[in-house]
Structure 1
Amino acid sequence: MVALFAAALAWLLWPFFTPDMTAYLIPWLETIRERGVTEAFERPFSNYMPSYLYLLALVSPLTAWFDPMSVIKLLSVAGTIALALAMHRLLGALGVARRAHWAALVVALPSVAFNALLLGQCDAIYVAACVMAVAMAVERRHIAMFIWCGVAVAFKAQAILVAPFFLAIAIQRRVPLVEWFAAPAALLALMAPALLAGWPPADLATVYFRQAGTFGNDIARNAPNIWSLAGMIAPEFAPRLFGLALASALGAAAWFIAKMQIVRLDNVGLVGMAALAALLTAGLLPRMHERYFLLADMLIFAFAVARGTRPAFALAGLVQIGSFAAISGYLGLGAPMVAIGALCMIAATWIAARPLAVPNANDNPPTGRNPRPAVLRPGFRYDIEQRLSFRGSGE
């Protein structure tokens, strides 16, 4: 059924293209074809990191049989398959039964399918690397975790949206600082081929800074977050909130890292916290786009599958609706859809954050053989564990 649904979506969406396809992706592929792989990388021809361009070069011979747009979308489909395999790995680390069936479902999720089959974007590739990094965090393989983090950043800067989670894990578990350098080492390793071909180091070092200024002073671009709502309500004033947005995101990240040091979570709860990190940063950082919640989509999906409760699946559905509504707004359905997406995503973020915002009434019970039971504050009802079951057995 999943295969049939995915095939139907491909048949429906494949002929369509977006402005990004004609303005960026197809010209990059044509540059590689015209110059040849070696000569193409001698000088900058893209505002993406070279990692994605390597893959474009790898599939460029397919243009002898397919049109350029189809070749680019085929690469995006391959990235989606990689994402499904990464989800299978993460669900395996969480001990989920029938994980192959759940991982296959990833390719049919609306936000994933539209990203590959319509937009032709490579977001699934960096999200797959982030999902693998979370799997390594669950298994306590910290060097591998940092390597996958470096790979993710090498494809897309949006990988840093989940950075507070990995930083919190590294601090909480006292991971040796030398192991942290596995992330920049992986990033540099992927940059090396372009550097050796002649790509200027200064250009590589500033790619993401130049990307940030692509759309001028817009505080958000169809992103399902609070700043898109602000832009709808006060379009002239909203760009002035850039500093507030940045400070809010940094403050939320610091709060998240600090709270992660004192909560007790099982492995499934850890994945929920990784999803929360992506929701917080994408929800509060300025200049976010509609596609930047794909990572949160996947992590909250893995959390819901592993937890297996109705509230967890409801939370995952809320995030998926929010993400897809924003994409629909970008595709022409306008600001109302983006606003609906923003409201869904804000509600999902609040629900996911409650295990951190409302901790146990007694996180540090007295020591001894028979510690006194926790006494709840008057009027305080703690039912997060029953409703969302984020908290574990105290691993």
Structure 2
Amino acid sequence: MQPTNTLRLPPVALTLACALVAHAALWPFRANDVDEYLIPWLEHIRHTGMIGAFATPFSNYTPPYLYLLAFASPLAAIFPLVTVIKLLSTAGSIALALAVWRLLRALDCAQPARGAALVLALPSTLLNAPFLAQCDAVWAAACIMAVAMAIERRHAPMLAWFGLAIAIKLQAAFLGPFVVALLINRRVSTRLWLIAPLVVLLTLVPAWAVGWPFGDLVTIYFRQAAYSDVLSLNAPNAWIIIQTLPLIGDLPLKAMAMAIATGASASYIAWLASHRLPARVIPAAALLAVLLVVGVLPHMHERYFFLCDILALSVALTRRDRTGWFIAVAVQAGSTLAILAYILDTQALAVLGAVSMMIATYQVALLLGFPSRADLSAKDDAGSTPTCAIIAWPRPMNARHRPS
């Protein structure tokens, strides 16, 4: 007999009510980045106009987020600037929840709305948008849509969404090994591969047309990469542990870290490209790619596991076993501890988060059989139990029971 999943998902209304209370509690906080970067950018847009603002470089972000900020700028006549920025970030969280709903629908999971609503109540989502006013949910939403398109074998839209995600934030490239492996696995025409870079370039055209120098636009990410030489900026990966060790943390380890990251990505691509890839294991395969890349790359920030948080929740919602929920909780704990380490300036929390994240990575690899040659089609089976189980709040005693 297969074990049953005793965890119930609350109704959407209850989840949204809890998320609303949490947003209200976190809203008054004002992060340093808001005053140092975001508010000056919004003020520039207000003073020079929604279109004229892009005539000259004024931000170290790529244009897509700035376009959204420009569209939201009229709200500054009604709300304080920080509120406008946080409203935009919260809109990104809503878009992310909708993307998760789309992914769950692609896998034909029951109660997709209840599962997707949980995105708005995740600790890392709450710390990201209403607390820090960050926009990670926007590029993560595009990545989740790319995964949903991969499940449906719609490769052109998948690459378009992936290109849009990269255009918003370079962190979306963490999903790159999964996308490349899937394209090789399914022998997708190389002509379609050009869709992603084409979308990236298209997002630059409006700013370039107004006057922003093209050379500056295409080098924004290179300038971002030169931000810091620290092995880990509170990212919950192995390097946060290593850099705290006496003597070892002072060694020039960047080249070795890059070599490890390259080797891990190549190994993952070779492994996934050579396996049959059932739709039901795609979220876990995508999760493993991001965990491996961010887990071994140097110079990562505390928020760079954000996509892992959402993919891990998706894995839990598309499985019926405790392993899926354990992975989701472990990833969420790792990310939340890292963000708290940044907020509280306590690196020890990031170290604890790294332990949790490494345990989660091991569990996902074990779940998929990485790096063995075992058939992935057998890795998510649980006897005759369907992959996507109905998970609902307990019904009243007199309610009619609907069979699974």
Give yes or no for TM over 0.5. Answer: yes
* Counterpart for residue 304 of structure 1: 316
Match of 1:48 in 2: 61
Q: CA deviation at 1:188?
A: 1.4
Aligned length: 371
What is the distance in 2 between the residues matched to 1:160 and 1:329? 25
CA contact (8 A) 1:217 1:239 kept: no
| CA deviation after TM superposition for structure 1 residue 351, in Å | 1.4
Alignment of 1:152 onto 2:135:
no
The answer to whether 1:102 aligns with 2:115 is: yes
Match for 1:168 among 181, 188, 197?
181
Residue matched to 1:295: 307
Matching residue of 1:259? 271
Greater displacement, 165-174 / 349-358: 349-358
For residues 23 and 222 of structure 1, the distance between their equivalents in structure 2, rounded to whole angstroms, comes to: 20
Task: Within 5 Å, give how 1:21-40 maps onto structure 2.
Answer: 21-40=34-53
Quick check: 1:202 aligned with 2:250? no
Partner of 1:345: 357
2:94 aligns with one of 76, 81, 85: 81
The answer for the alignment partner of 1:314 in structure 2 is 326
Q: Are the aligned partners of 2:268 and 2:371 in contact in 1 as well (CA < 8 Å)?
A: no
Matched, 1:283 2:295: yes
**Kept after mapping to 1: 8 A contact 2:369/2:379:** no
Given residue 343 of structure 1, which amino acid in structure 2 is its aligned partner?
Answer: V
Question: Which digits, 9 at most, give the CA deviation of each residue in 1:243-290, with x for residues without a partner?
Answer: 111111110000000111233342121110100001000111111011
In structure 1, C-alpha distance between the alignment counterparts of 2:182 and 2:223, rounded to whole Å: 30
- CA 1:360–1:183: 2 relative to 1, 3 Å: closer
**Amino acid of the residue matched to residue 364 of structure 2?**
A
1:5 alignment partner, SS class: helix
1:225 aligns to what? 237
1:117 aligns with 2:133: no
Q: 1:265 to 1:170 in 2, by over 3 A?
A: closer
Instruction: Give the RMSD, CA atoms, in angstroms.
Output: 2.1
**Which position in structure 2 is the counterpart of 1:10?**
23
8 Å Cα contact 2:242-2:248 kept in structure 1: no
| Alpha-carbon distance between aligned partners in 2 of 1:301 and 1:31, rounded to the nearest angstrom | 38
Contact 2:271 2:373 in 1 (8 A): no
Aligned residue identity for 2:73 = S
The answer on whether the counterparts of 2:128 and 2:136 sit within 8 Å (CA) in structure 1 is yes
Check whether the contact 1:268–1:303 (CA below 8 A) recurs between aligned residues: no
For residues 308-353 of structure 1, the C-alpha deviation after alignment (integer angstroms, 9 at most, x for no partner) is: 2111111111000001010111110511210110000011111111
Cα displacement (A) at 1:238: 4.4
8 Å CA contact 2:233–2:301 kept in 1: the answer is yes
Give the distance between the partners of 2:196 and 2:49, measured in 1 at CA.
30
Secondary structure of the 2:55 match is: coil
User: 2:202 corresponds to which residue?
Assistant: 189
SS of equivalent to 2:57: coil
1:64 aligns with 2:77: yes
| 1:326 paired to 2:326 | no
Q: CA deviation at 1:356?
A: 3.6
Structure 1 counterpart SS, 2:143: helix
C-alpha contact 1:31 1:40 (8 A) present in aligned 2: yes
Cα distance in 2 for residues equivalent to 1:334 and 1:383:
39
Q: Relative to structure 1, is the Cα distance of residues 326 and 88 closer, same or farther in structure 2, using a 3 angstrom cutoff?
A: same
In 2, Cα distance between equivalents of 1:50 and 1:234: 42
Distance 1:385 1:259 in 2: 20
Distance apart, 1:184 and its partner CA: 1.2
Equivalent-residue separation in structure 1 for 2:126 and 2:109 (angstroms):
24
Unaligned runs of at least 5 residues, structure 1: 365-381
- Deviations along 1:71-103, whole A, 9 cap, x unmatched? 000000000000001001000001110001111
Letter in 1 for 2:357: M
Cα deviation for residue 360 of structure 1 reads 5.9
Residues 360 and 147 of structure 1: is their aligned pair in 2 closer, same or farther, counting only changes over 3 Å? Answer: closer
Using structure 1 for the length normalisation, give the TM-score: 0.90
Decide which structure has greater helix share: 1
Is 1:76–1:120's contact at 8 Å kept on the other side of the alignment? yes
Q: How many angstroms apart in 2 are the aligned matches of 1:338 and 1:248?
A: 21
Give the Cα separation in 2 of the matches to 1:255 and 1:308: 29
Specify the alignment match of 1:273 in structure 2: 285
Residues 219 and 238 in structure 1, CA contact (< 8 A), matched pair in contact too: no
